[in-house]
Structure 1
Amino acid sequence: MQPLRKADPSTLAGYRLLGRLGAGGMGVVFLARSAGGTLAALKLIRAEHAADPGFRERFRREARAAERITGRWVVRVLGADPEAREPWLATEYVPGPSLAEAVGLHGALPEPTVRALGARLASALTDMHEAGLVHRDVKPGNVLLALDGPRLIDFGIARSAGATALTATDAMIGTPGFLAPEQARVTGAGEVGPASDVFSLGCVLAYALTGERPFGAGAVAAVVYRTVHEQPDLDGVPDTLLPLVTACLAKD
């Protein structure tokens, strides 16, 4: 966590801001405390992006999507105001590294750990899919490792199954290396559904078990090509989990 900057507010919508958890082009995520003492991760969108009607609609959709998901293994929404001058969304704060950070620092995880991780992520995705939503960006950076189990976060590009995406027709939604082939193909955008999240889950499990991305690293175009046209590299995946991971990564 980084300290607040001079230009940062000290309070927002009844939350006291304690520090910065992260920042990007779209806004800042603060560690905040509610009046009742609950810690929260509060995402504040920059005013210039909020002025874009398309962006505001996407943020409005994110807030609605996140509020519909109530499973144990997803972060709970504590409050939101998509109509504010600078829209914000507060979720429960999960102390712990992301799966990407854990593997980056310590390497591949033991098989029993990945079994537990996979079961809980599958449960989180089941809750999402039963709510009629598709996450579309299941990746190690969106999995937080808390003491009592993982949490799936970031529903910024989640949408209702079958809904029309509020993105440019040539935009690729998801993270190369962890997205499904239909997400990588411009013409396949309408095919994105729950199965796409299952494919991404397979990529995450392979990464957790081996420390390597199943479709390799390098230039985005090369990774996307391998995702669409080649088989994953599952060397290092234990035989006991290989059939499951292989099934997740079936292109059809």
Structure 2
Amino acid sequence: MIVTTPQKPSPELVKAAQHLSEELGGRFVLRRQETLTGLRKKHGDESLLVVDPQGLRYYDNAEQPLYFHPSMAYVRVKRLRKGERDPLVDISGCEHGDTIVDCTAGLGSDALVFAYASGPSGRVIAIESEPVLCAVVREGLKTYVTAHEDVNAAMRRIEMRAGNHRAFLEQLPDKSVDIVYFDPMFRQPVHESSALAPLRSLANRDALDEETIRQAVRVARKSVVMKEHAGSGEFERLGFDCAHVNKIAYGVIKPT
């Protein structure tokens, strides 16, 4: 993977790009006046990460780059701001001050809803197994600005971590967090979208296993929640009670 910058970067941006190339095992290349297409052809590499002041843009064979945007999460949070309900918040029992582990962070949409719902005294740890995707979302959460300061603050509170969620859960003490959340749907999106094509090339499509759920139940005080396709059979296989069904469904386990 090539890691580069806009054509006229600041020294700080060059340092940031060099740091990310080391973190992600990429190859830092000075942009100079080269086009992105030219860089890819010159170095024979279709994977390219552009380190921009507004965030990161990741390109592969897709027409559109992958970048961070709160998307529907912003819509959901604006509804919460108006006092409306959110199914995930209700089903999980999320309240101010809660600690949440989002085991399948993806683009950080549900992590943002949790961060807003748990408030300034809450904590959201978002685990993403794919390092490039984790970096794109992590940097986007630091820099993206909405029209609402409380939403911006919620984004800044999310702790993105690259790694294996089962390994993370295994090192947590019993009953040490309030909510553990899984969204395997993210690995197999409901909607086809050319804008999300780079995401699919990065996505980890591994199924959840029983030991991971056992670890989640061990560390959660309130609930373990999973989002899935309705009728997928995953709820029954992993021991979840189906709590909400529409185009998608939520399953929940209440630890004892």
Q: Which bin holds the TM-score, normalised by the shorter protein? A: under 0.3
The TM-score with structure 2 as length reference comes to 0.27
The TM-score with structure 1 as length reference comes to 0.28
Query: Greater RCO between the two (CA within 8 Å, min separation 6)?
Result: 2
